């Protein structure tokens, strides 16, 4: 899953768009969404370091 998200976010020089079109996978919505970047970091940390937001 991380590899797929990284591939999508890499489009347009890591512009971290708000979303991607479900069929074409083109970036859409607002660019430079911090939650998109943060989501990728959290996912990476969860996969590689066992990081979890749950208590």
Of 37, 35, 2, 8, nearest to 20 (Cα)?
A: 8
Range of the domain at 10: 2-49
pLDDT above 90 coverage of the chain, percent:
7
Distance CA 45, CA 32 (A): 21
Q: Is 34 part of a structural domain of the chain?
A: yes
pTM: 0.62
12-22: per-residue pLDDT in tens? 888 888 888 99
pLDDT (0 to 100) of residue 55: 60
Give the total number of structural domains in the chain. Answer: 1
Looking at residue 19, what is its pLDDT? 87
Residue 54 lies in a domain: no
Q: 36 lies in a domain?
A: yes
């Amino acid at each position: 899953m991380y590899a797929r998200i990284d591939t999508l976010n890499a489009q347009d020089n890591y512009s971290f768009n708000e979303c991607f079109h479900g069929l074409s996978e083109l970036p859409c919505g607002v660019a430079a969404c911090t939650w998109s970047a943060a989501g990728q970091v959290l996912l990476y940390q969860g996969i590689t370091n066992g990081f979890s937001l749950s208590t």
